[in-house]
Amino acid sequence: MKLLFSTEWLEQKIKSDADIETDAGRALERSIVADDLARGKSSIVAPRAAVQLRIALGTLVRQLRTRDGLTLPEVAVRADVLEDELRQVENNPSYTARPRLLHNLSKFFGVSLNNLSQMSGATIAVDRRLYNTAVQFAAHSDNVSSLSREQLEVLEAFVGMLNESA
């Protein structure tokens, strides 16, 4: 390829340009959890954003099985995962789920594996939109044994977003 601008043109333009910021691109805007990690926060205490995402993941899994009328042990059997691991995912925001568990849950509930992995803290980079939506979803969801129509709608919208952005 050829550069279609001369040195003289460039020189003239630079001299007359406003001296302001020029950086751009979605790549610069895309990650959030990785940034927390890059700040060198404690490796013992999970980064704030990662904890929020895991809370959202636990809420999602619990609500999906509630929607389907299944108990935790029933999901463990049907999805072929360890009951204790599943319990950790639902209730312990410090717990990082293993890839196999996420894979099986993804298949069982029909939710994007990539997004489940990001929510579990298993990946370094996390999509900012996913982060925002997941935190909102968790904040508006109660820990209940049955879902109201409104809760079901919120859940379905979130699942739709997860699969749409996969």
Partner 1 sequence: MKKLLGARVLLNRHTGEMEPAQIFFGSDDTNRRHYEELWKPDLVRRNADFPDWGASAEGNAQDSHWAWDEIMKSTLAYENFVIECAGLTQGIMNVNIATRFATLPPHKGRELAYIDRIATAPWNRHKLHPKPKYMGVGRTLFATCVSLSIDLEFGGRVGLHSLEQSETWYRDELGLTDCGFDETEEMRYFEMTEEQAIEFLKGAEVLS
The binding site for partner 1 (CB under 8 A) comprises 1-15, 17-29, 31-32, 34-40, 49, 125, 128-129, 132
CB of 26 to partner 1, least distance (A): 5
Residues 70 and 148: their CA atoms lie apart, in Å, by 16
Identity of residue 128: R
- Based on CB atoms, which residue is closest to partner 1, 122 or 147? 122
- CB under 8 A, 24+ apart: contacts of 18-24: none
How far apart are CB 85 and partner 1 at their closest, in Å?
Answer: 29
Q: At what angle do helices 149-164 and 48-67 cross, to 10 degrees?
A: 120
Find the shortest distance in angstroms from Cβ 161 to partner 1. 10
Cα–Cα distance measured from residue 81 to residue 100, given in angstroms and rounded to the nearest whole number = 8
Nearer to partner 1, 5 or 69 (CB): 5
The residue written with tokens 């279609």 in the block is: 4
Cβ proximity to partner 1, 6 vs 145, nearer residue: 6
CB of residue 125 to partner 1, shortest distance in Å:
8
C-beta of 17 vs 142, nearer to partner 1: 17
* Distance in Å from the first CA to the final CA of the chain: 35
